[in-house]
Every structure is written in structure tokens, then in C-alpha cells.
């Protein structure tokens, strides 16, 4: 099993936390948190097999958040000394005092017991930031040249983003958490250009970002060899494919596409701070307002959605969140009815919940934690193991949607449109070749209400995003979404070429 990083443990972590917590207590704060964090990020990008971009950066600092007399303050420093962290706690306290007159309501946190000392490391084998640059460039270059050698592939872009987070968290409740998260995201995109018309098509690998190490690129969790071998033919077929006739179709949506629809129409919509209007100035609100909890018909009876910050290889998985809350799994939608929200401690207290469900996260050492998304996932079929082929067999006229691409959704997370990487016509229960220019359009409740069946565990995939954005100033957070393939009846399909006036 992987262990905590010795170079991070060599920092005076306990002393820094003690200095901040003692300074906050001396100023009369009823609650305080000190978080020392190191984030190492590496980005490689190759164009046609040649290195184009190489970035290797490390963020390191300590942050302090306090609650004093119903007001909160936050401050951070890049100076890792006990005096500096104590000064940061004093600055956070002064901020709380200064902003208190402007608050409309008291800032209070839902209770959370002490969890003592917790150590947690995500599931990985090889720290990707320790692998030689030459080795990574060589692998991406070899993959790129393999695609370029195929007929019809004119250009290839390859990238690899690797991130390692080391966090030491301590609060005045007595919780001390040492945690390490490792994640990687390799992507290859092939581009094919028609020399006569100048039109082009692109196609990316479907391999999702994951909470794994460099072993992911050698086949641990994904068949890169198989995908790279098949991609040129998929791209060639897409170029030759007919343009879709707009209308209503039954859709079988692959998890490589459906994860993004879950993220935008469920994940964000069930963040309670958004549903209460706290995100209105930045990223919108939510149609799933608090007064509809327990009654909103979100989707069909086969719809069961959970939030989970503990799932193995999940991008949002941790043991203790950035407010000292022990994480777990919880229901959001059961039998198609809205049954829960994602919470942080402030929102939980304000809306009368007993405790937070561990959805607070800060994007780095200089950011204050805000309510962020858990790994929000659609559960597979409870009995049997329906395959993609089984779902397709139940469709007379439809489309099988594979891979994510562009998307659009309104500020309340209600009206949306999604495209994809590949689209296959379904005729009489069988796949009948690719289509082009497809986008599906619906309202959130109509779309999920039309879900007739979900695939079994064999169709389930944990996909997700490295960079879910939220907050002012903007914070990016990694999050996974698991789902099976699913069958939707009579969804509106647009022809994107016609909609663009081409």
C-alpha cells in the first residue's frame, strides 16, 4: 500500500498547526482550522509526437480559518514558520471582526466530533510526478506516432496531467488528518482533415481521469492499447458517416458520455448552497430548491443517485474533508425522488441538518474551503447484469451515444444540450453504423424521467473531471462520476450542423 510522503512529513506540520490554533484560541475564537498543503502538478503536451509544453509546479502554504462570535475569517501564507502561521491566525481573526457588521446572519458550523489522528492515502502504485520526464515524453510520443501512421489521421495532440496533493489538517475539535491524493489524466486527440473541403473531424481517447498513479498508463484500469488501435477506424468512419436527421429518438447513452450529464444536471443542481442562491452571481442557481426536498420528481423510478467521497480511485475521495468532517456515502435521489443535498458545515447548520456530509474542499493552500461536489454517481441495475447489447436490443429506432464533447446548460441546471464523440444509429435492436452532427436536448426532469432502464455492474464506469469550477475567486476541483449505460425514450435530437447554419 502507498504511504504518506516522507518529504512532506519532514515539514514542521504539527508545530505549524499548534501555533495557528493557539493564536486563534488566545483571540477568543470558538473554532479554528489550520491546513498546510503541498500540491505538485505536472503537465506535458505533445503535438504530432514532439514536446510542445512541459510544466512542473508546486504550491505550498498554510491556511487558517476561524469562527469568532458568529463571523468567520480566513488568511493564508506561503511562509512555513510558526510565527508566520500564528500571524495568519491573527489576521483571520481580524477579518472576522471586521466583517461581522456586514453579515446578515451568524456564521455557525454544524457539529462534528473529533476524529483524532487520521492518516489516509489514495489507491495508487507509482507516483506519476517521480517518473522521469524522458520516459513520459517517450510514451506519449510513441502513442502519437502510432496514430499518425494510420490512414486519415493528420495531426495528433497528446497530453498528460498529473497531480499529487499532500495535506495536513488540524482543528480545535482535536481532529488531525494527514492525507495524500494522487491523480492522472492522459488524453490523445486525433484530427482528420478533408483536403478538398477543408472540413475536419476530431476524436479523443475515452480513458477518464482517475485517482490512480502512473501505472494507469500501462493498462491498470484501462486498455490503452486496444483503444489506440481502434481509434483511427472510428475516426475514419465518423468522417464518412451521414448527418443525423433531427427528431425524437430512443437513446442508449454510454457512461463515457452520461457522466457529464450527471455532473451538470445532478451534481451541480444538488449542491445546497447553489439551491439556496449562494452561487447566483457566478455559476447560477438550481431548480431543485430546498422546498422540493422529498417531493421533487427528478427522474424515473429506476433512478438512484448517491454522493460518495470514499469510493476507490474517485477524484473527490478523501477520509476527512477540509472542515474536519469524516466522509461517507449518502443518497441524493432515490426512486427518482430528490432525497438529499451535498452539504458543508455552514449550510448544514443553517438548514437544520444534524451534520455535514463532508463536501467541503479548498483548491489549494491559499484558498478557503467551500462546498464542493462529491463523487456523484448513478447506481447500476439492482438485479441481473443488463449489458449495452441488452439495452440496444430494446430499441427499434435510436442512437447509441459514446464519449463526451461540448455541452450547454442554463443557470438553473434545467435546460441542456450535450454532444459526444461517437454516435451509432440503432435499427431494429442492432447498431447500424455511425452518425454525425448529433446533440441531444431536454430539460433535466424530462430527460431523467425518460430513463427506462439502466445497465448492470459490467457497464459501470467511474469517469469525471479534473477541473470543476466554482466560487469567487474561482476554485477548480477534481470529481468523479460513476454510472452504467442507460436507456432513454424519445429524447429530442438536434442536427448541430443545421443549427449552426452550415
CA-nearest of 284, 238, 266, 314 to 411 is: 284
Between CA 52 and CA 61, with CA 55 as vertex, the angle to 5 degrees is: 165
The pLDDT value recorded for residue 415 is 97
Sign of CA dihedral 223, 153, 54, 205: negative
Percent of the chain with pLDDT over 70: 100
Reported as a pLDDT band with limits 50, 70 and 90, residue 1 is low
Question: CB burial class (10 A; 0-12, 13-18, 19+) of residue 281?
Answer: exposed
Alpha carbons 18 and 34: distance in angstroms, whole number: 8
Give the distance from CA 34 to its chain's centroid: 25
Among 412, 414, 441, 437, CA closest to 495: 437
Residue 230's alpha-carbon distances to 65, 139, 224, 233, 235, in angstroms, are: 51, 18, 10, 6, 9
**pLDDT at residue number 196:** 80
Instruction: Give the separation between CA 21 and CA 173, rounded to whole angstroms.
Output: 10
- Give the DSSP H or E segment for 240: helix 224-240
* Average pLDDT rounded to a whole number, residues 204-223: 97
Terminal CA-CA length for the chain: 55
The residues facing 402 across adjacent strands are 422
Q: Once rounded to an integer, what is the mean pLDDT over residues 351-379? A: 97
Spatial contact of 392 and 495, defined as CB atoms under 8 Å apart: no
13-26 vs 82-99: helix axis angle to the nearest 10? 40
Which is nearest to 234 in space by CA: 159, 153, 144, 142? Answer: 153
Cα 86 to Cα 34: distance, rounded to the nearest angstrom: 10
Quote the CA–CA distance of 14 and 135 in Å, as a whole number. Answer: 37
- DSSP H helical ranges for 49-155: 82-99, 133-148
- Determine the pLDDT at residue 244: 98
Cα–Cα distance between 266 and 259 in angstroms, integer?
10
Task: Judge whether residue 175 has pLDDT over 80.
Answer: yes
Q: Are 213 and 180 in contact (CB under 8 A)?
A: no
How far apart are the C-alpha atoms of 339 and 294, rounded to whole Å?
A: 5
Vertex 442, ends 441 and 448: CA angle to 5°? 125
C-alpha closest to that of 66 among 21, 111, 99: 21
For the chain, what is the mean pLDDT?
Answer: 96
pLDDT at 74: 98
In this structure, are residues 333 and 298 in contact, taking their beta carbons and an 8 Å threshold?
yes
Specify whether the CB–CB gap between 485 and 388 falls below 8 A: yes
Give the Cα separation of 449 and 305 in Å (integer): 13
3-51 pLDDT per residue, tens: 999 999 999 999 999 999 999 999 999 999 999 999 999 999 999 999 9
Whether the predicted pLDDT of 100 surpasses 70: yes
For 480, residues 6+ apart whose C-beta sits below 8 A from its C-beta are: 208, 209, 210, 211, 311, 313, 314, 315, 316, 317, 375, 377, 462, 463, 464
Separation of CA 483 from chain center: 13
Is 80 exceeded by the pLDDT of residue 283? no
Helix, strand, or coil (residue 464): strand
The CATH number fitting domain 6-240, selected from 2.60.40.10, 3.40.50.800, 3.20.10.10, 3.30.2290.10: 3.30.2290.10
Report d(CA 342, CA 373) in Å as an integer.
Answer: 7
If you count DSSP H runs as helices and E runs as strands, how many of each does the chain have, helices first?
Answer: 11, 24
Name the least confident of 213-217, 275-279, 422-426. 275-279
Residue extents of the structural domains in the chain: 6-240, 247-499
Centre a 10 Å sphere on the Cβ of residue 113 and count the other Cβ atoms it contains: 12
Burial 402-433 (b: 16+ CB within 10 A, else e): bbbbebebeebbbbbbbbbbbbbbbeeeebee
Res 199 pLDDT > 70: yes
Q: Is 4 helix (H, G, I), strand (E, B) or coil?
A: coil
Which residue in 462, 434, 423, 468 sits closest to 207, CA to CA? Answer: 462
6-159-437 Cα angle (round to 5): 140
Whether 493 has a pLDDT exceeding 70, the answer reads yes
pLDDT for 109-162, tens place per residue? 999 999 999 999 999 999 999 999 999 999 999 999 999 999 999 999 999 999
Q: Summarize pLDDT for 426-465 with one digit per residue, the tens.
A: 999 999 999 999 999 999 999 999 999 999 999 999 999 9
Of all residues in the chain, what percent carry a pLDDT higher than 90? 95
Element of type H or E holding 278: none
Cα dihedral 430, 435, 438, 440 in deg (nearest 10) = 0
Amino acid at each position: 500500500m502507498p504511504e504518506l510522503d516522507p518529504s512532506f512529513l519532514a515539514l514542521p506540520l504539527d508545530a505549524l498547526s499548534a501555533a495557528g490554533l493557539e493564536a486563534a484560541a488566545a483571540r477568543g475564537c470558538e473554532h479554528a482550522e489550520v491546513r498546510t498543503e503541498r500540491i505538485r502538478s505536472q503537465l506535458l503536451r505533445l503535438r504530432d509526437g514532439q514536446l510542445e509544453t512541459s510544466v512542473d509546479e508546486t504550491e505550498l502554504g498554510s491556511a487558517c480559518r476561524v469562527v469568532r462570535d458568529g463571523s468567520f475569517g480566513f488568511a493564508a501564507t506561503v511562509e512555513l514558520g510558526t510565527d508566520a502561521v500564528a500571524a495568519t491566525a491573527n489576521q483571520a481573526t481580524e477579518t472576522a471582526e471586521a466583517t461581522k457588521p456586514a453579515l446578515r446572519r451568524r456564521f455557525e458550523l454544524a457539529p462534528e466530533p473529533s476524529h483524532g489522528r487520521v492518516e489516509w492515502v489514495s489507491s495508487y502504485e507509482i507516483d506519476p510526478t517521480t517518473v522521469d520526464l524522458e520516459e513520459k515524453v517517450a510514451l506519449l510520443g510513441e502513442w502519437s506516432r502510432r496514430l499518425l501512421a494510420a490512414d486519415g489521421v493528420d495531426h495528433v495532440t497528446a497530453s498528460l496531467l498529473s497531480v499529487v496533493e499532500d495535506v495536513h489538517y488540524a482543528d480545535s475539535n482535536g481532529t488531525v488528518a494527514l492525507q495524500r491524493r494522487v491523480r492522472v489524466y492522459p488524453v490523445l486527440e486525433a484530427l482528420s482533415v478533408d483536403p478538398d473541403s477543408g472540413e475536419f473531424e476530431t476524436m479523443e481517447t475515452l480513458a477518464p481521469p482517475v485517482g490512480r498513479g502512473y501505472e494507469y498508463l500501462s493498462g491498470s484500469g484501462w486498455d490503452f492499447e486496444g483503444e489506440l488501435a481502434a481509434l483511427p477506424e472510428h475516426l475514419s468512419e465518423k468522417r464518412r458517416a451521414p448527418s443525423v436527421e433531427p427528431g425524437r429518438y430512443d437513446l442508449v447513452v454510454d457512461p463515457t458520455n452520461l457522466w457529464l450529464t450527471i455532473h451538470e444536471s445532478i451534481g451541480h443542481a444538488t449542491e445546497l448552497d447553489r439551491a439556496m442562491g449562494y452561487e447566483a452571481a457566478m455559476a447560477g442557481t438550481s431548480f431543485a430548491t430546498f422546498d422540493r426536498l422529498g417531493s421533487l420528481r427528478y427522474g424515473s423510478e429506476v433512478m438512484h443517485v448517491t454522493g460518495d467521497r470514499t469510493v476507490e480511485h474517485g477524484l473527490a475521495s478523501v477520509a476527512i474533508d477540509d472542515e474536519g468532517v469524516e466522509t461517507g456515502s449518502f443518497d441524493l435521489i432515490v426512486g427518482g425522488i430528490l432525497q438529499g443535498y451535498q452539504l458543508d458545515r455552514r449550510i448544514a447548520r443553517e438548514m437544520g441538518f444534524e451534520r455535514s456530509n463532508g463536501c467541503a474542499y479548498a483548491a489549494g493552500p491559499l484558498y478557503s474551503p467551500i462546498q464542493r461536489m462529491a463523487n456523484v454517481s448513478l447506481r447500476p441495475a439492482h438485479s441481473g447484469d443488463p449489458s449495452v447489447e441488452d439495452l440496444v436490443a430494446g430499441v427499434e429506432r435510436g442512437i447509441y451515444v459514446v464519449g463526451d464533447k461540448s455541452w450547454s446548460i442554463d443557470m438553473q441546471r434545467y435546460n441542456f444540450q450535450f454532444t459526444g464523440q461517437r454516435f451509432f444509429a440503432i435499427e431494429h435492436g442492432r447498431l447500424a453504423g455511425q452518425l454525425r452532427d448529433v446533440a441531444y436536448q431536454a430539460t433535466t426532469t424530462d430527460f431523467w424521467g425518460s430513463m427506462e432502464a439502466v445497465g448492470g455492474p459490467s457497464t459501470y464506469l467511474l469517469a469525471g473531471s479534473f477541473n470543476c469550477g466554482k466560487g469567487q475567486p474561482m476554485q477548480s476541483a477534481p470529481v468523479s462520476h460513476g454510472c452504467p449505460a442507460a436507456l432513454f425514450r424519445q429524447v429530442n435530437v438536434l442536427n448541430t450542423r443545421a443549427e449552426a447554419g452550415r
